[in-house]
């Protein structure tokens, strides 16, 4: 078929939009539902459609890029406004549109490959854009979605603590705003550090076994540590409140965190990521930050590394963390050294960051 041969009448079934879905995934769902090869649909969107891989388009492996006119044609064929598609599909937002259509493999960097969508409340076979995030719980609380290792799902049903943790996470965000999600993301980084260091191993190993992931413990770790991450985030919020009061003591706060450790005390290794966190969340004099509301002012009080661009979709574990170490890379060495700070800035201690924040305050 040429582009003019395909009309909206040839696509009678309009598949539901999934927030955050990749464009390739949406096109495959649309073409499959209407009994058309995806090549036919793609050829109707642009004059010179890119050649697809020999084994077909695989949204977990590559993404489609369209120009603005391709988006307009797609919107017309599926009976939606271009703005409506752009709100749901990150790949067709202004920053994702291109001059010429193309098929691009997903980068292999952590946080780049897409996540498989929850088949229980979205649609089996759909894929979500990662936008820098490697994993997150689905809103239904019954699955975790991860983009590592080609993408995988974790059935959280066998561990009720995970559902309770998600409820506490949501309640915290409802009470405090997006700053709460940033603290949960920080706490998740801390607990993954503990997991990689072999700490709190017994409780987490039991969860991994219950999730039937004894042979894939590295994959299970981000899920297994989640309840402790939420509990730690609640303590982090107490410090956020306290650090602007006279006499705020990081040591006393660390003593309160020790309740999460099996032994009731924190070893030097367990303190290490908390020390890095406190380096950025220092005691400060009281003052009223800018912001139109309480939630925005709480967000504006957070350290600079939390203010990196946030994805437009809301949900758990979406806010950037101020702890930049990468789960899966060594804790004690870097893969490269930032030429600006020589690896001494909080942003570049483990891997160089293009937006280096410079050396920490004394």
Residue holding tokens 């039991």? 206
Tokens of 330: 């060594």
7-16: per-residue pLDDT in tens? 999 999 999 9
Q: Please say whether the beta carbons of 104 and 112 come within 8 A.
A: no
Q: How far apart are CA 203 and CA 108, in angstroms?
A: 32
Q: Any alpha helices (H) in 258-360, and if so which ranges? A: 268-280, 294-300
Q: Any alpha helices (H) in 177-200, and if so which ranges? A: 178-196
Q: Do strands 115-116 and 127-128 pair parallel, antiparallel, or not at all (unpaired)? A: antiparallel
Q: Please say whether the beta carbons of 64 and 42 come within 8 A.
A: yes
pLDDT at 66 over 50: yes
What does the pLDDT read at residue 312? 63
Q: How far apart are CA 68 and CA 217, in angstroms?
A: 44
C-beta atoms surrounding 185 within 10 Å: 22
- What SS3 string covers 336-358? CCCCCCCCCCCCCCCCCCCCCCC
What's the gap between Cα 276 and its chain centre?
21
Q: What is the pTM of this model?
A: 0.90
pLDDT at 321 over 70: yes
Q: How far apart are CA 66 and CA 103, in angstroms?
A: 9
What does the pLDDT read at residue 2? 46
Lowest mean pLDDT among 1-10, 153-162, 210-219, 225-234: 1-10
268-280: per-residue pLDDT in tens? 888 999 999 999 9
Q: How far apart are CA 257 and CA 259, in angstroms?
A: 5
pLDDT at 315 over 90: no
Q: How far apart are CA 285 and CA 199, in angstroms?
A: 35
C-beta atoms surrounding 259 within 10 Å: 11
Q: How far apart are CA 236 and CA 218, in angstroms?
A: 26
Q: How far apart are CA 59 and CA 131, in angstroms?
A: 15
Selected residue with higher pLDDT from 170 and 360: 170
Q: How far apart are CA 315 and CA 113, in angstroms?
A: 18
Strand segments (E) across the chain:
62-65, 102-105, 115-116, 127-128, 135-137, 143-146, 152-155
What does the pLDDT read at residue 308? 77
Residue holding tokens 């894929």? 127
167-217: per-residue pLDDT in tens? 999 999 999 999 999 999 999 999 999 998 887 678 899 999 999 999 999
Calculate the average pLDDT of the chain: 90
69-96: per-residue pLDDT in tens? 999 999 999 999 999 999 999 999 988 9
pLDDT at 361 over 70: no
Selected residue with higher pLDDT from 11 and 259: 11
pLDDT at 153 over 70: yes
């Amino acid at each position: 078929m040429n582009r003019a041969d395909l009309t909206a009448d040839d696509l009678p079934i309009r598949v539901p939009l999934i927030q955050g879905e990749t464009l390739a995934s949406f096109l495959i769902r649309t073409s499959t539902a209407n009994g058309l090869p995806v090549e036919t649909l793609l050829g109707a969107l642009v004059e010179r459609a890119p050649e697809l891989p020999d084994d077909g388009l695989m949204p977990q492996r590559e993404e489609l890029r369209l120009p603005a006119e391709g988006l307009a044609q797609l919107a017309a064929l599926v009976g939606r406004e271009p703005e409506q598609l752009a709100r749901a599909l990150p790949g067709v937002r202004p920053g994702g549109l291109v001059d010429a259509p193309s098929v691009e493999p997903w980068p292999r960097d952590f946080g780049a490959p897409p996540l498989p969508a929850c088949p229980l409340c979205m649609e089996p076979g759909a894929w979500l854009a990662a936008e820098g995030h490697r994993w997150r719980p689905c809103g239904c609380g019954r699955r975790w979605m991860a983009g590592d290792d080609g993408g995988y799902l974790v059935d959280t049903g066998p561990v009720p603590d995970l559902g309770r943790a998600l409820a506490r996470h949501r309640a915290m965000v409802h009470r405090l705003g997006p700053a709460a999600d940033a603290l949960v993301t920080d706490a998740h980084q801390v607990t993954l550090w503990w997991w990689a260091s072999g700490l709190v191993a017994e409780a987490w190993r039991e969860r991994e076994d219950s999730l039937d992931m004894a042979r894939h413990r590295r994959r299970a770790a981000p899920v297994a540590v989640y309840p402790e991450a939420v509990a730690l985030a609640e303590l982090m919020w107490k410090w956020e409140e306290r650090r602007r009061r006279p006499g705020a003591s990081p040591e006393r706060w660390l003593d309160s965190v020790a309740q999460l450790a099996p032994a009731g005390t924190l070893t030097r290794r367990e303190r290490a990521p908390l020390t890095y966190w406190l380096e950025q969340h220092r005691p400060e004099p009281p003052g009223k930050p800018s912001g139109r509301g309480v939630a925005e002012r709480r967000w504006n009080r957070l350290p600079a590394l939390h203010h990196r661009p946030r994805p437009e979709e809301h949900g758990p574990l979406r806010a950037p963390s101020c702890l930049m170490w990468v789960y899966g890379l060594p804790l004690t060495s870097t893969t490269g050294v930032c030429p600006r700070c020589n690896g001494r800035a909080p942003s570049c201690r483990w891997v160089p960051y293009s937006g280096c924040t410079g050396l920490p305050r004394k």
